[in-house]
Amino acid sequence: MNPVDFETLATFRYQIRKFLRFSKDFLCAEDLTPDQYQALLAIRAASPRCKLSIRDLAEQLQVRHHSTVGIVDQLVSRQVVVREVAPKDRRKILLALTEKGELLVQRLAPAHHEELSRLSPEMIETLQRLAAR
């Protein structure tokens, strides 16, 4: 790797961190953590075609199963997520947004989309530099 490669990698990580900082600050006002918001997004993205299991959500969040259970517990206590027993396998727990959870995601997602749209030209340029290497 040459110095330009390191600069490009550093730039891309910086751009990701700028977005994550925006998100963390934005979510703080809603008393949500980034992991909780990501969980809400993942659950919303999965439905209505299929509901997410705890295992699937752990994969989406890239955290361990027990950490995912803790995140889900917090979201259930806020009444934005419910657990449901899978009809075909009663050992499996599926996750769904409540109406309150759906409204929360609908309120939060546009600001994130707007910020990504604002940052995307720089990020795309950096990704193209990475892909060209």
> CB atoms < 10 A from the CB of 5, how many?
12
Higher pLDDT, 69 or 2: 69
Q: What is the pTM of this model?
A: 0.90
**Structural domains of the chain, ranges and CATH numbers in brackets:** 3-132 (1.10.10.10)
- Each residue's pLDDT tens digit, 28-59: 999 999 999 999 999 999 976 788 999 999 99
Average pLDDT on 94-118 reads 97
Question: Token digits for 93?
Answer: 């727990």
Distances (CA, A) of 113 to 109, 118, 125: 6, 9, 18
Q: Tell me how far apart the alpha carbons of residues 112 and 114 are, in angstroms, rounded to a whole number.
A: 5
pLDDT at 90: 84
Is it the case that residue 68 has pLDDT exceeding 80?
yes
pLDDT at 48: 67
Which pLDDT band, with edges at 50, 70 and 90, does 86 fall under?
Answer: confident
Is the CB of residue 72 less than 8 Å from the CB of residue 36? Answer: no
Q: Tell me how far apart the alpha carbons of residues 29 and 125 are, in angstroms, rounded to a whole number.
A: 31
Higher pLDDT, 80 or 3: 80
Q: Give me the percent of the chain exceeding a pLDDT of 70.
A: 98
Which pLDDT band, with edges at 50, 70 and 90, does 81 fall under?
Answer: very high
The mean pLDDT of the chain is 94
Q: Is 83 helix (H, G, I), strand (E, B) or coil?
A: strand
Higher pLDDT, 93 or 73: 73
- Rounded (10°) CA dihedral 1, 20, 107, 45: 40
pLDDT at 71: 98
